[in-house]
Amino acid sequence: MLEVRKVCREELFQVAQLEREIFSDAWSEQALLDTWGRQAIILGAWDSGVLAGYLILYYVPDEGEIVRIAVKEALRRQGAAGMLLLHAREFCREKEVRKLFLEVRESNVPAITFYKKHGFRADGIRKKFYTNPTENAILMSGEIVE
């Protein structure tokens, strides 16, 4: 059974480790620590005490940006990303954030499908946004409903 909660400072090394496993442009533990101390929240999905996935959200009044959402490859398609997004939306309601934004690689069809399933829509394209490899980003947004 998955447990979703805020990541503690002492657990950031686990997020950094998962970053390295999943992303070619992984954030360092120091970058995560810098984010952790700002107007951001890092949520983790824990499966029997093991970090299965995480979501990083920056927020200001009215708006939030999902800058990372990732799940261990072996644990994908088991609901962790959906639970992380659900908890992020609950957090947004508490903080009076009304709209979420994100970017996703144009080739990441599973992620685009996931976001659309959860109420996000494509708003535009950011040309050559990603590197390693160079790729366009699809800009997406979703409303936070009461």
For 22-75, write each residue's pLDDT tens digit. Answer: 988 888 889 998 998 788 999 999 988 889 999 999 999 899 999 999 999 877
- 3-state helix, strand, coil split of the chain in percent (to 5) is 35, 40, 25
Would the pTM count as exceeding 0.85? yes
Q: Who contacts 80 (Cβ-Cβ below 8 Å, separation ≥6)?
A: 2, 45, 47, 52, 53, 71
In degrees and rounded to multiples of 5, residue 103 shows phi and psi of -120, 150
Kindly indicate the confidence band of residue 131, based on its pLDDT and cuts at 50, 70 and 90. confident
CATH (domain of 74): 3.40.630.30
To the query of whether residue 63 is one of the catalytic residues in this protein, the response is no
> In a 10 Å sphere around its CB, with 0-12 CB exposed, 13-18 middle and 19+ buried, how is residue 33 labelled?
middle
Q: How many domains are there within the chain?
A: 1
Q: What is the pLDDT of residues 66-114, one digit of tens each?
A: 999 999 987 788 889 999 999 999 999 999 999 999 999 999 999 999 9
Residues β-bridged to residue 65 = 58, 101
Contact 59, 96 (CB under 8 A): no
Scanning 23-108, the segments in alpha helix (DSSP H) are: 29-36, 80-94
Catalytic residue among 103, 130, 143, 146: 103
To the query of whether residue 65 is one of the catalytic residues in this protein, the response is no
CA–CA separation, 53 vs 80, rounded Å?
A: 7
Range of the domain at 128: 2-143
What is the model's pLDDT at position 132? Answer: 80
Catalytic residue among 54, 59, 115, 130: 115
